[in-house]
Structure 1
């Protein structure tokens, strides 16, 4: 599968629909709600200029995506989304491997991500992809733990 960077001109509406459809199962399960409820095509295009949005397509339709943001010492992996029709087919592994490759190319030693505390199935998926829990955190205005941070060390090769 080819992983391609989304840059203008791009069908941001199709990518937004992929994200919304992939994250819909979280509605009513996570608190606070996903930031995708405030996302639109213009914001998504702006994000693409400040970070790396990578996409897997089937034909012209995006079926999987991830947002990568270089930070000090690590590459942040956010908004990993797989179309419900393509979940369980190894696309998350393809995108995580791509993130590890990008981190190595950027000279970063780790890929980190945040997972909502309620989404224990996602904790297991990311653990199966080589991530380990390194921290817990709370969203602004919350005293309870709302997310965990997970990390995967990068060796310079796809794992």
Structure 2
């Protein structure tokens, strides 16, 4: 398995979208509101990918994971971290986060930030084990309860 940066010539957005949706499918019955991954199309995914820093995990030409990164003041925002279901637990997510951390350091950003849904407590634990700490609780527009937590890792 290799982690590499998405190049502008990348043309496999249908496959990338299918991989993200497969990775996020377990959330469908658990989170409210639904994941923004459900609103993506190949065209909007391409637009997003070309405006952000994206790392892909590839195993023998098969897309097995991705992570989208966006520089913010003083931190790198991490979004759409996805690993195909049959490869979860193989260290791919950790490898993608390590690529993002290296990018944050390259950009001289002292921290990384991500958001995870309040219901996905197993993700909170995984990110905590990788050095992220809860820094905020957030709500989606129209909700009167916490729907996600923000976690930050200082580098």
- Class of the TM-score when normalised by the shorter of the 2 chains: over 0.9
Instruction: Say what the alpha-carbon RMSD is for the aligned residues.
Output: 0.9
Question: Does the aligned pair in 1 maintain the 2:67–2:78 contact within 8 Å?
Answer: yes
Aligned pairs for 1:46-85 within 5 A: 46-85=47-86
After TM superposition, the runs of 4+ consecutive aligned structure 1 residues lying more than 6 A away are none
User: CA-to-partner distance for each residue in 1:101-122, whole Å, 9 max, x for gaps?
Assistant: 1001001000100000000010
Q: Give me the whole-angstrom Cα distance separating, in 1, the residues matched to 2:113 and 2:24.
A: 19
Question: Does the aligned pair in 2 maintain the 1:14–1:61 contact within 8 Å?
Answer: no
Return the TM-score normalized by structure 2. 0.96
Unaligned runs of 5+ in 1: 155-159
Classify the secondary structure of the residue corresponding to 2:2.
coil
- Give how far 1:9 is off: 3.1
Aligned pairs for 1:118-129 within 5 A: 118-129=119-130
1:157 alignment counterpart: none
Return the TM-score normalized by structure 1. 0.94
Classify the secondary structure of the residue corresponding to 2:151.
strand
Question: Does the aligned pair in 1 maintain the 2:2–2:59 contact within 8 Å?
Answer: no
Classify the secondary structure of the residue corresponding to 2:50.
helix
Aligned pairs for 1:129-148 within 5 A: 129-148=130-149
Question: Does the aligned pair in 2 maintain the 1:132–1:152 contact within 8 Å?
Answer: yes
Q: Give me the whole-angstrom Cα distance separating, in 1, the residues matched to 2:12 and 2:5.
A: 12
Q: Is 1:112 aligned to 2:113, yes or no? A: yes
Q: Give me the whole-angstrom Cα distance separating, in 1, the residues matched to 2:85 and 2:138.
A: 28
1:6 alignment counterpart: 6
- Give how far 1:152 is off: 0.6
Unaligned runs of 5+ in 2: none
